[in-house]
Amino acid sequence: MTEIATSVQANDPSFENVFDELEWRGLVHVSTDREALREALGGEPVTYYCGFDPTAPSLHLGNLVQLLTMRRLQLAGHKPLGLVGGATGLIGDPKQTAERVLNDAETVEGWVAKLRGQVQRFLSFDGDNAARMVNNLDWTAGLSAIDFLREIGKHFRVGTMIKKETVSARLNSDAGISYTEFSYQILQGMDYLRLYEIYGCTLQTGGSDQWGNLTSGTDLIHKVAGESVHAFGTPLITDENGKKFGKSEGNAIWLDPEMCSPYAMYQFWLNVDDAIVAKLLRVFTFLTRDEIAEYERLVAEEGFRRAAQKRLALEVTSLVHGPDAARAAIDASEALFGKGDLAALDAETLASALRELPNVELEAGATVIDALVATGLVPSTSEARRAIKQGGVTIDGDKIADEEAVVGGTLPGGVSVVRRGKKALAGVFLAR
């Protein structure tokens, strides 16, 4: 198995204040009073929180930005609260385009448990600034509608609420917005107030698309307690064309290995464009600015080696799935493209890798010609025969000369890899 070394989880010592490092990494897109926030983060430990709603069974790449931001703040000595929204997850924050489908309580409860486990992997629960996990259902489940309206709702002005970006967009769309989703910002504001009251929490982080919800909390605390607290929003992560990654866009990179395998995650980062790889290294890794500057040089001078992408893929896959899974993904990638032994891979990693390639399930006894045509490596049987005659076809690493050769499924897990030429390859799963 490939030997790899990943960076240690530590903040860059060249920054005196963690806020300066967050800004350098491009993680502060919008904030409340910048100088006051910087001063707070440079002083005594601050209790802060970020919320994650169980509107799906897994967190995704956008949430990973928040998890790593939380970790950077914790490494600076501050105290994290990881909130999984058992209450707000029953509603979901408003989308830009249409009303959310409401999930039943049992489904949301199951997703709360899954997301809680994912959040916990990125924080430390030991030491003086140990993380805590909280659930907003704890302070909303017993709250009556009358009490909610009297204690919390009276502090919100409809005129202000309808100016929030997402709410405004929905009001001006054909879909409109229900009172249920309209009230979401009040619930999130109440979360911040309750965490302020219970834990002394004075900072909330989140995506910049959540800014209206974040400031609903800072405004509520100011009205109820007369105190000024902080919030900042991280930028949305986009590809080289400016398109957002996320489940609402249909291109989410999930953190659950059942929804996005370690191999698929590794390949995703390996294939990012040169134009954005340095930005992604700053956001998603703990590499120092000197290390990232060196990768920027390599991109400019030796971009064909893709050293920056390989390091990015290694770091993020290790953070999300662990070093062993990252090693297995690298080994699978190298073996599939002729730099390693396919037979040495474990069956699960190989199967997940093949699912990312053109692949097909065939009956036992299927021929190599069947596989070539079924996987789309050739357009027809005659083309398959011609490719074999020309010596350009291998299966499981062995060159095929016999047009009647059968797919053997000789690799771990009873699968096969068929290759035409140097770069065109596909997977074959044999029915059992």
For residue range 332-360, what is the model confidence (pLDDT) as tens digits?
Answer: 999 998 888 999 999 999 999 999 999 99
Q: Are residues 315 and 377 in the same domain?
A: no
Q: Are residues 98 and 172 in the same domain?
A: yes
**Residue 1 lies inside a defined structural domain of this protein:** no
Q: What is the CATH number of the domain that holds 280?
A: 1.10.240.10
Q: Of the candidates 243, 277, 307, which is a domain's last residue?
A: 243
Q: Are residues 326 and 208 in the same domain?
A: no
**Residue 330 lies inside a defined structural domain of this protein:** yes
Q: Are residues 324 and 408 in the same domain?
A: no
Q: Are residues 112 and 26 in the same domain?
A: yes
How many separate domains does the chain show?
Answer: 3
**Residue 142 lies inside a defined structural domain of this protein:** yes
Domain span at residue 302? 261-344
Q: Are residues 27 and 142 in the same domain?
A: yes
Q: What is the CATH number of the domain that holds 23?
A: 3.40.50.620
Tell me, what's the pLDDT at 423? 86
Tell me, what's the pLDDT at 145? 94
Q: Are residues 234 and 301 in the same domain?
A: no
Tell me, what's the pLDDT at 94? 85
How high does pLDDT run on average in the chain?
94
**Residue 349 lies inside a defined structural domain of this protein:** no
Q: Are residues 310 and 199 in the same domain?
A: no
Tell me, what's the pLDDT at 174? 84
Tell me, what's the pLDDT at 93? 85
**Residue 266 lies inside a defined structural domain of this protein:** yes
Q: Of the candidates 209, 243, 277, which is a domain's last residue?
A: 243
Tell me, what's the pLDDT at 245? 66
**Residue 6 lies inside a defined structural domain of this protein:** no
Q: Which strand (E) or helix (H) includes residue 307?
A: helix 307-321
Q: Are residues 430 and 385 in the same domain?
A: yes
Q: Are residues 67 and 137 in the same domain?
A: yes
Beta strands at 30-31 and 47-52: parallel, antiparallel or unpaired: unpaired
**Residue 2 lies inside a defined structural domain of this protein:** no
With H, G, I as helix, E, B as strand and everything else as coil, classify residue 162.
coil
Spans of the chain below 70 pLDDT: 1-4, 245-251
Tell me, what's the pLDDT at 3? 58
- How far, in Å, are 253, 346, 375, 420 from residue 415 at the CA level? 26, 12, 14, 17
Tell me, what's the pLDDT at 190? 97
Q: Of the candidates 212, 243, 274, which is a domain's last residue?
A: 243
Selection from 117, 118, 110, 49 nearest residue 82 by Cα: 49
Tell me, what's the pLDDT at 61? 94
Q: Are residues 229 and 280 in the same domain?
A: no
Q: Are residues 364 and 430 in the same domain?
A: yes
**Residue 283 lies inside a defined structural domain of this protein:** yes
Q: Where are any strands of DSSP class E within 112-197?
A: 132-134
Q: What is the CATH number of the domain that holds 410?
A: 3.10.290.10
Task: Name all contacts of 95-104 with Cβ < 8 Å and 24+ positions apart.
Answer: 95/166, 95/248, 96/166, 96/169, 96/170, 96/248, 97/173, 97/175, 97/248, 98/175, 99/175, 99/177, 99/178, 99/181, 100/55, 100/181, 102/180, 103/55
